[in-house]
Amino acid sequence: MTSEELFLQIKAKKSYLCVGLDTDIRKIPQHLMAEEDPVFAFNKAIIDATADCCVAYKPNIAFYEAQGPQGWESLRKTLNYIPDSHFTIADAKRGDIGNTSGLYARTFFDVAAAGLDFDAVTVAPYMGHDSVEPFLEYKTKWVILLALTSNPGGDDFQRLKVDDKPLYEHVLTTSQNWADSDRLMYVVGATQADALSHIRKIVPEHFLLVPGVGAQGGSLKEVSRHGMNKHCGLLVNASRSILYASSGTDFAEKAQVEARTVQEEMAHYLSEFMSPGIQ
Ligand SMILES: O=c1ccn([C@@H]2O[C@H](COP(=O)(O)O)[C@@H](O)[C@H]2O)c(=O)[nH]1
């Protein structure tokens, strides 16, 4: 999917919500455990309930890998079920020496390899340009580099000063010099909203993937105020607050209510903070 197509979806739905499919087999409502593939049954119901409210889905690969071969199969079925209109992100946080990164890229981008065809994958930047290039070789795909993450330990290294600038700033500026840097997005945690205005000056056009609203307590309003650009430029992720809004048979209904509430708030911010605003 191109960024123009993504922006069209954002405008049509008045939403920049990414639903995180962090499906924990231990949290799936009991009645689904009798299904042949409980994880897929859960995801299917969540996708049916939330597709109108969001523009992207982000399965976190850890939740599927932890289930072994069955988990990879649930992931493949889930990805195939997501409507083509939605941007898909493999939150895998990969990155290794070049030839190994090449295999990670194949895993998530080449349908003939592992049966997966994501639009984007999250990548850790700290092994440098040759660890990221193999992902960027897929010319229709996106790489989402970790810049300033939402967790408390994110500050341990990412805000350390190197040549008077925080390390995350070097990630942003150095990666801008790489080939195909127009197909980079960046992860910035919602809990790091104080840094967003500064980050926007460094990468004014790029999309930011912003996890950390909902369960982690980040403010959607502050993220939108400081992070939005004229093409919205934000994908704000919520996982647990939507997936586990209820643990009963009404889980999908409650997930829809939660996703709709976030979408309505987003519609408001698109009018307020996106210049010239959305009609
Ligand atoms: O900085 C980061 C990078 C990734 N994540 C991931 O996003 C979701 C957040 O889940 P919630 O339940 O909405 O808190 C999860 O998959 C994380 O691994 C992040 O939180 N922060």
Per-residue pLDDT band at 278 (split at 50, 70, 90): low
- State the chain's mean pLDDT as an integer: 97
Query: Ligand 1, closest atom to CA 60?
Result: 16
Look up the CATH number of the domain holding residue 110: 3.20.20.70
Rounded to whole angstroms, what are the CA distances from 92 to 101, 145, 202, 223?
12, 11, 25, 23
pLDDT in tens, 66-98: 999 999 999 999 999 999 999 999 999 999 999
Q: Tens digits of per-residue pLDDT, 121-170?
A: 999 999 999 999 999 999 999 999 999 999 999 999 999 999 999 999 99
Q: Which residue has the tokens 């080939």?
A: 179
Distance of CA 117 to the CA centre of its chain: 15
Note if 93 is an active site residue. Answer: yes
Query: Rounded distance, CA 175 to CA 111, Å?
Result: 27
For residue 146, how far is its CA from the centre of ligand 1 (angstroms)?
11
For residue 154, which atom of ligand 1 is closest to its CA?
Answer: 1
Domain residues for the domain of 101 are: 3-273
Residue closest to 192 by CA, chosen among 161, 223, 237, 164:
223
Which one of the listed residues 11, 44, 77, 93 is annotated catalytic?
A: 93
164, part of any domain: yes
Closest CA to ligand 1's atom 3: 149
In a domain? residue 123: yes
First and final C-alpha spacing in the chain:
24
Check residue 149 and give its pLDDT. 98
Residue 87 lies in a domain: yes
Asked whether residue 59 is domain-assigned, the answer is yes
Judge if ipTM > 0.95.
yes
Ligand 1 lining (C-beta closer than 6 Å):
20, 22, 60, 91, 149-151, 187, 189, 211-212, 214-216, 237-240
Q: State how far the Cα of 148 lies from the Cα of 68, in Å rounded to an integer.
A: 30
Evaluate if pTM is beyond 0.90. Answer: yes
Burial 25-58 (b: 16+ CB within 10 A, else e): beebbeebeeeebbbbbbbbbbbebbbebbbbbb
Q: Looking at ligand 1, which residue's alpha carbon is closest to its atom 19?
A: 211
Q: What is the pLDDT of residue 275?
A: 76
